Copies of this chain bind each other. A is one copy, B any other.
Amino acid sequence: MAYNGAAYHGYQRQNNAYTIQQAVEESLSRLLSEKVAINGCSRTDAGVHAREYVFSFTTNNNIPPEGLILGANNILPGDIAFFSCEEVSEDFHARFDCKGKEYEYLIYNSKIKDPFYNKIAMRYWYRLDEKLLDDQAKAFIGNHDFKGFCSADCDKEDTRRTIYSFGVTREDRLVRFKVSGDGFLYNMVRIMVGTLLYINEGKIEKGAIPILLEQKDRTKGGVTVPPDGLYLNKVFY
């Protein structure tokens, strides 16, 4: 499925806040006339979006995949959409079987405020040098300890991850940071992008990323950019 996360308190079910998981489970339960629980591929934070989010569920209903998509899309809110559905073996697990992910961070680079990019991109005022940042971002590629690039809330013991690719491109006022890897720590994409923005502003020196990776100190990097610009693009199996 794809979703615009602006109106949701993240993916995962919560007691007192409306989430993507709750919206999907309620819609599927209504469509299939049975209680449905879904297994998602990843948590996403409040306000974060997804373009190809994968989840699985078990049903006794014989509805064909095509019918399920059509039916669910009519019941689901307008900011959540299903576009593909297939039967999988019972041991498929959307999260544990995941081999990697691609994220995009979208920046609206302009001094002009555009109300139609509200909550679906981060607005960045200063001129962004996408060629410089594309070059600097390459330093993240490879297997590194990303301890300095995750939130203090991160509870993972092993903070080594492999980044496969990291590119920065511009299309007019839109600048896209696209990064893929075998896994990402909590807030990792948002801190990597925030660090690149600090390099753009001269607050962190060019060429500093390998040093920051060595230092493993969150306080040396850039800000954690807001969730509005973050998209879970693809999940690999």
Which residues of A approach B to under 8 Å, CB–CB?
Answer: 2-4, 49, 73, 77-83, 112-116, 118-120
Contact = CB atoms under 8 A, between A and B. Distances in A.
A113 B3 contact: no
Contacts of A2: 114-116
B115 A81 contact: yes
A115 B72 CA distance: 13
Contact of A116 (B77, B113, B115, B120): B120
B115 A4 contact: yes
A68 B82 CA distance: 43
A114 B112 CA distance: 26
A73 B116 contact: no
Copies of this chain, tallied across the complex: 2
A4 B83 contact: no
B116 A4 contact: yes
Taking each of A80, A112, A119, which has the highest tally of chain B beta carbons within 10 Å of its own beta carbon?
A: A112
B78 A118 contact: yes
Contacts of A112: 81, 83
Nearest to A77: B118
A118 B7 CA distance: 12
A73 B113 contact: yes
A225 to B, nearest CB: 15
B4 A118 contact: yes
A113 B3 CA distance: 10
Which of A80, A82, A115 has the most C-beta atoms of chain B within 10 angstroms of its own C-beta? A115
A4 B115 CA distance: 6
Contacts of A115: 2-4, 78-81
B119 A78 contact: yes
Nearest to A112: B83
A79 B4 contact: no
A113 B4 CA distance: 12
A79 B119 CA distance: 9
A231 to B, nearest CB: 10
A79 B74 CA distance: 26
Contacts of A3: 115
Contacts of A79: 115, 118
Contacts of A4: 115-116, 118
